[in-house]
Chains A and B, each alone.
Chain A
Amino acid sequence: MATYHLKTPLTDEDISKLHVGDIVYVSGIVVTARDSAHRRMIEYHRENKPLPIDLRGGIIYHCGPVVRRRGDRWEVIAAGPTTSTRMEIYEADVIEKYGVKMIIGKGGMGPKTTEACRRFKAVYTVFTGGAGALAANSIKEVLGVEWLDLGVPEALWIFRVKDFGPLLVVIDSYGENLMSHVMEESRRRRDTVLKWLMENIPPPHH
């Protein structure tokens, strides 16, 4: 388990260093996107419309922040990750079409994203779910916001971050998926756990 400090834009070399279980802190630019933003990215690609921001070598963060407007600036109050599996249906395409190198979220992602990370050299990392205050602490500035018509949680928030992390690498660019290993192991234990319960709880009666 190694620890890395990386800066955006991320290169293939940066990504090649990372393996599942490694810890990463990133500095530079991170762009939030949830369900609606992902859907719109795919639509824009289909219609040949440019995105409002270049995501090549970039980082997408599954996050709907709590923000406050102060004059003409935005202040980030809390900004932890949201559940990534909802983006599974879009993420492989977003990685392929827009050259995104890192996804940050929580809860793990599936085989489509794992395969896209391997083919297009990208990683999926997790930030501790719910740790919204901790995340906000390393977001230094809101550089902009796009697609605010989708609502505050769903908009593209462009953050300047410093040592944003710890991010745990869960899917690397070699086809490994840490959380699916854990899940398989838990499923293997199901019957043993049920047997243990039946042996340790007397059947109910009145």
Chain B
Amino acid sequence: MTDTINTDYLRRKIVEATVKALKLAVTHLPPDVENALRRAYLEEDSEASKSQLKAILENVKLARSMEKPMCQDTGLIHYYVNLGIRFPATHIVRDALIEATRIATKEIPLRPNTVHPFTHYNPGDNTGRGVPIIHWEINDSDRLEYYVVPKGGGSEAVSVLRLPPPGRGFEEFLKTVVDAVLEADGKPCPPVIVGIGVGGGVDTAVYLAKKAASIRRIGSRNPDPYLALLEEKLYEALNMLGIGAMGLGGRHSVLAVHIDYAYRHPANYPIAIVFQCWATRRAHVTIYPDGRYEVEQ
């Protein structure tokens, strides 16, 4: 009996926290991203690009003060869950996240974005087979932690996965990244965060790239010193392409480059590049075993 009450209570708290996190994510741009955009605005000398950065910053302010979504594409909802196995209600987490997605869609509101890939049927509540997207990692704590990431379709549409022959080496890696950014051009709503995932199976590369793009904070340093250097140099180089905000030409089309990797099969060299548009929607939730929770960016 006590167990049931506790489970119901925790379910309500998870739903409540998730709706709050989704609302925070779609209405408030995380401070690291807003600061990076402000820096880009101050440094930009292309008039067309500067006008776009100005509109973006005004839009961010407006969305925050009116508590409205900063972008009409409120995305496909992703949850990156880190579940403590000693959390008292592990078995209801998935259901609670799906329920929260439905409620948030109606209450905030979010754009109903999920469609059947063959029939185009849209259930209208951002759910459906396989969505919201929930990734699970397990740890031995008693807490439930997760990121909510509503990710827009425009930046997702220019994602790249390549498997160049491993013999072509490091130069091919650089070419793949530069060409992906050139091909994406103004389409992913630059300035963007470029997430790069290398190695693993193909699924690993894409998963790491998306996490690097959407979750990692701008300004956080890669713990691997070589990758930290690579990120810095790629950031400089990709901005030299001159794509600019919204592809209108200018010095700032990339806010940051984030790289993650896994070991790979000797015959495969998966390289994934995932773009996060300037409208980086993310929030982090921690739920404690007694139902207290924190929502932050």
Query: Footprint of B on A, CB under 8 Å?
Result: 1, 21, 23, 36, 63-66, 68, 77-80, 82-83, 85, 106-108, 126, 128-137, 151-153, 166, 168, 170, 178-179, 181-183, 185-187, 189-190, 192-194, 196-198, 200-201, 203-204
Contact = CB atoms under 8 A, between A and B. Distances in A.
Contact of B56 (A131, A152, A168): A131
Chain A interface helix/strand/loop/mixed: mixed
Given A107-B187, A134-B55, A201-B233, 4 more contacts: A83-B157, A168-B52, A193-B240, A197-B233
A131 B59 contact: yes
A182 B55 contact: no
Contacts of B242: 182, 185-186, 189
Nearest to A182: B249
B247 A189 contact: no
Contacts of A126: 246, 248
B69 A85 contact: no
A94 B277 CA distance: 29
Interface stretch (B2-10, B140-148, B171-179): B171-179
A193 B237 contact: yes
24 contacts: A68-B109, A78-B74, A80-B73, A82-B153, A108-B247, A126-B248, A130-B279, A131-B71, A133-B59, A133-B68, A134-B55, A134-B62, A151-B120, A153-B113, A166-B55, A170-B248, A179-B185, A182-B243, A186-B243, A194-B174, A197-B178, A198-B174, A200-B233, A201-B174
Contacts of A82: 73, 153-154
B40 interface: no
A21 B48 contact: yes
A106 B229 CA distance: 33
A64 B171 CA distance: 40
B52 A128 contact: yes
Question: What 7 pairs between A and B have smallest CB-CB spacing?
Answer: A129-B189, A132-B72, A131-B59, A78-B72, A128-B55, A134-B59, A133-B63
Contacts of B248: 126, 168, 170, 178-179, 182
A127 B247 CA distance: 12
Contacts of B240: 189, 192-193, 196
A106 B144 CA distance: 39
A62 B170 CA distance: 40
Nearest to A168: B48
B139 interface: no
B187 A186 contact: no
B122 interface: yes
A151 B233 CA distance: 44
Contacts of B58: 131, 134
B278 interface: yes
Contact of A130 (B115, B189, B243): B189
Given A21-B48, A79-B72, A190-B178, A133 B62 contact: yes
B59 A201 contact: no
Interface string B85-128: 00000000000000000000000011111010000101010000
A204 B226 CA distance: 8
A196 B237 contact: yes
A76 B21 CA distance: 22
Interface in B213-258: 226, 229-230, 233-234, 237-238, 240-244, 246-249
